[in-house]
Amino acid sequence: MKKKWIGRSHPYIPVRAAARRRKSGRYMRFALWVASLLFVFVCYQNMSESDEAPAMEQIWAYLKEEAAVGSWKNCMMAMVAEQQEESPSAVNYLLGKLEQFYPVCGFSETLPEYDTQVESDLEAGLLAENAKGQGAGKAEGEGKTGQEGTGTQGAEGAKGQDGETPQEKEAAQEEGGGSQGKGKEKKSKKGQGDGGQEAAAPAGKAVEVSREKLNDFDYLVQNFYQVDRTTTVDGSQLNAEALLGKDMKLQQGNENVQILIYHTHSQEGYQNSVPGDTSTGVVGVAEYLTKLLRENYGFNVMHHTGEYDVEDRDNAYSYAGPALEQILAENPSIEVVIDLHRDGVADTTHLVTEVNGKPTAQIMFFNGLSRTTANGDIPYLANPYLAENLAFSFQMKLAAEEYYPGFTRPNYLKGYRYNLHYCPKSLLVEVGAQTNTLEEAMNAMEPLAELLHKVLAQ
């Protein structure tokens, strides 16, 4: 009996040890997993002060949003495809409204980020009407079309074509754009609209945008804005009457600094920029804008060339913030802050138009709404000047549509803040893209300077 007990006791010793080792291993793996999770959580919470680095809750919101977009793609694409060849129906109408009011329906080609369509539908329509009113046949067979980009696919995928014939573009530029800013009176035929009456554009304008149409929220968004799918906007923020009602005129004289121009991303360059030479990139372009505003329009302008994206581009907005605060504290007379950037698009996209006979990079005004589709308003990115920011960019866009049709892309609305909360009259401007030449970007500063003068001083 004793031998039997001894013989059977030996195998149990290593089994117990192995069980203890397995148990210890589970504890260690669990501890490592918890430590890793805490590390990631702390890192992202520290990053959450940045306008671009998301906290954990934003990552979760992003995942939920992507899942929603995927489900919409799967269930809706087939329905849309079935209706493509049919005449407009109630279903198509409802689907269109669904897309419009719920940007999370990411299957629509009208919603991708950084749409690089050369002209908005509004610009194409107005230019076509203007060309007809002036006699489009006059431009037949002459010169350039004034648009080298045709709405090809952009960085995230873009929409189709700009919807104009070369003759219509040439006529619009010849009759409306050739003498822009020179005070010559030009007549243009506006659409018949609700009243069925023709309207003449005031002196200096290429076209006249109907203020009555602007009061329609759908019309306003579709023709003046590109809403990123990460955010939402409604009529309480995009109300044309309210946006135009805010006075953007400068309140003080030019004895002290009135306008600050700076660069969150100072290293952005163009097709033929010299690596390492910021004077051949956005910094040099802004220097030319500064010169034009000073010499041609009498503004007192400061151009700040601090570099915040050299070592860590992702946190450039966080790095630029304290410097911006200091400049504004030292110069309380500053009323306008402009952050000048250069966009990034697909290599096949060329954002160029023609202004006064010069190849000119198109520009885009950019606003952050401090709101995401999934979570609503972002408290730690609050912007007390959001209404003023939106009014400033809209008034600039409207002036561009009327004086330089085709010069600006739709105003882009996204979810975060982008340091636009330091000053009511703040602009973030994207000047062309990496596929533009430095000359095209420089040429864009001439109409931009004139538009700033019209909105801020006239």
* CA–CA distance, 339 with 292 (Å, rounded to integer): 17
| pLDDT recorded at residue 35 | 82
pLDDT tens figures, 288-320: 999 999 999 999 999 999 999 998 999 999 999
| pLDDT recorded at residue 34 | 85
| pLDDT recorded at residue 406 | 96
CB atoms within 10 A of CB 269: 22
Going by C-alpha positions, the residue among 177, 115, 189, 122 that lies closest to residue 145 is 177
| pLDDT recorded at residue 38 | 78
What domain range includes position 15? 1-31
The residue ranking higher by pLDDT, 112 or 70, is 70
| pLDDT recorded at residue 231 | 95
Question: Which CATH number covers residue 388?
Answer: 3.40.630.40
- Work out how many domains the chain is built from and give that number: 2
Q: Is residue 357 part of a domain?
A: yes
Q: Is residue 45 part of a domain?
A: no
For the ranges 78-92, 183-197, 220-234, which has the lowest average pLDDT? 183-197
Going by C-alpha positions, the residue among 286, 397, 284 that lies closest to residue 340 is 286
* CA–CA distance, 369 with 240 (Å, rounded to integer): 17
Going by C-alpha positions, the residue among 433, 434, 397, 400 that lies closest to residue 413 is 397
Q: Is residue 210 part of a domain?
A: no
Q: Is residue 27 part of a domain?
A: yes
Q: Please state the separation of Cα 359 from the chain's center in Å.
A: 22
Give the mean model confidence (pLDDT) for residues 375-390.
95
Which residue intervals of 188-281 are DSSP H helices? 211-214, 217-224, 240-245
Structure tokens at 368: 């952050």
* CA–CA distance, 247 with 72 (Å, rounded to integer): 42
Q: Is residue 23 part of a domain?
A: yes
pTM: 0.61
Look up tokens 């004034």; give the residue: 146
Q: Is residue 297 part of a domain?
A: yes
Q: Is residue 393 part of a domain?
A: yes
pLDDT tens figures, 38-71: 776 666 666 555 544 555 566 666 566 666 555 5
- Coil vs helix vs strand at 165: coil
Q: Is residue 133 part of a domain?
A: no
